[in-house]
Structure 1
Amino acid sequence: MWMGRPTPFFTYPQLVTAEYRKIHSTHPKITYVHPIEMVKNWKSYQEQFDFIVSYSSIEHSGLGRFGDPLDPKGDLREMQKIQCLLKRGGLLFLGLPCGADALVFNAHRLYGRLRLPMMFQGFKFLNMFVGNAAGPVQVTDEMFNEPKEEMQPTFVLQRE
């Protein structure tokens, strides 16, 4: 969940990948941890990360699809966990499907005018990137008017 594509980040001394499926890597800078183990040992990870990458992950939290317990606030709780893991001023690169707010049970959520601000609580919005755009794009009202599952921007947020 945290580090999906580590290649541009190899200037960092260590990358930690938290994922439900075990990842096998022989690279000395990549460490794997199961999310349950990360939660059990959360104090050793508290405020340890300069950045976190999460893409196509949190919108499934709490819906039971992957064996997790049902929790209507599962996605919001994951955001709180990420806050605990990030250093102050650390960056979160967050990919979420956007459109009109919706729950497609038990697959995923769509984030719009209602739930997206809840997800960003405790973070400062910096930028949004969509598809093949050459740079950041503006957030517009139109992106929240109807369900658009194919629109999954990456938000750049900074922990306050």
Structure 2
Amino acid sequence: MAKIRFETVEQLQEKIGEELSEGDWYPVTQEQINLFAEATGDYQWIHLDEKRAEKESPFGATIAHGFLTLSLLTRLMGDTIELPRAQMTVNYGLNRVRFAAPVPAGSRVRPRMTLLAIDEVTGGVQLTWRVIIEVEGSEKPACIAETLSRLYFA
């Protein structure tokens, strides 16, 4: 899928309330899950012990950490849309996050994004997005998040 490009904030304003895109499918590997566990110190067996997860987990396999899934927002959104050029873009925070379904190791995820609001802030704008991370083959999304990003202009 081609990346959606926005040259100006005004172009973005025209899209408030619309679902902008379904991104491309992105694989979530056991190696990524292991690296995330190492980086965060979250070594719970449902993420790392493939044999035990196959036998004891209701998911039948290891699953990605919820916060790994959440951290993929930046990558998934960046692969899908290009925002207007800014001096600096920052993740400002989250208003709401839900982990509705697991992301099994080896599955693929993609974002569906809706721009909810654009608000002026000193030196730039704040964008409020609803992002739904789908898991290929699953009826329920893995993650539903309302995320805030800020674009600061020179």
Fold conserved between structures, TM > 0.5: no
Please tell me whether Structure 1 or Structure 2 has the larger radius of gyration of its CA atoms. Answer: 2
**Could you state the TM-score of these two structures normalised by the residue count of structure 2?**
0.24
Greater per-residue helix proportion: 2
Q: Normalized per residue, which structure has more strand? A: 2
